[in-house]
Amino acid sequence: MKSYLVLIIVIVFAFLQVTFVDYFNFFGAKPDLLLIAAFIGGLSLKLGWALGIGLLSGILKDSFLLNRFGLNAALFPLWVLLSKKLSRRVSIEDNLSRAILIALISLLNNIINGIFLFYAGAMVPLGIFLRIAIISSFYTALVSYFTLRIIIK
């Protein structure tokens, strides 16, 4: 896939993330389209470009959050790097295994975000913490499965 196409996907997904996705939230959890966009970049571009796409996705996500620290801007390139390294060792050629990998990455991302929130002084009940972390991760994986089917033939 061409790098400019991935760039367009990132911008479109960023748009959808802050406008329409909220209407599809399930028990307070919503899919992370920007993580999916970063993952698509990681799958289809060379390492340098993929890291750039990951960084851009992270910055876009952090721009619409309240925390002043760019946690996602730092994490997204790491997830891209991880998926790139992993794809060299394990076959992730089909969309199901890709969706499973996204679920794991999303879960890790959510847990780190939740812990960061906790250390920032916010008290989130354990039930809600787990609900958001788990549902959001699987929701992201489910959306990614259908997105990848459409985007990556």
Partner 1 sequence: MFKLTNKKLTFILISFLFLVIIIFSVAIFSPPVNRILRLPLGISAALRREIAGAIFYHRNLLQNEALKRETDFLKNKINSLNESYLENSRLKELLSFKKASALKLIAARVIARSADSWSLNITIDKGSYNGIRQGMSVITYLGLVGRVVEVAPSFSKIALLSDPNLGVSGIVQRSRQEGLVSGTLGNSLIMKYLPEETDIKIGDTVVSSGLDNVYPKGVLIGKVIEIGREFSGLSCYALIRPAVSFSNLEEVLIVVP
Give the nearest distance from C-beta 91 to partner 1 in angstroms.
27
Q: Is 8 among the residues that bind partner 1 (CB under 8 A)?
A: no
- Integer Cα distance of 32 and 139 in angstroms: 8
Q: Taking the complex as a whole, how short is the minimal distance between the CB of residue 145 and partner 1, in angstroms?
A: 19
Check the CA dihedral 46-7-10-59 and report its sign.
positive
Between residue 80 and residue 109, which ones bind partner 1 under the rule CB under 8 A? none
- Amino acid identity, residue 69? F
Cβ 100 to partner 1 shortest distance, Å: 21
Residues 20-39 that bind partner 1 (CB under 8 A): 20-23, 25, 28-30, 32, 34
Question: What is d(CA 82, CA 101) in angstroms, rounded to the nearest whole number?
Answer: 10
| Among 113, 138, 141, 144, interactor with partner 1 by CB under 8 A | 113
What is each CA distance from 87 to 21, 50, 54, 93, 119, in whole angstroms?
29, 13, 16, 8, 33
Q: Which listed range, 12-20, 37-45, 89-97, 141-149, lies at the site for partner 1 (CB under 8 A)?
A: 12-20
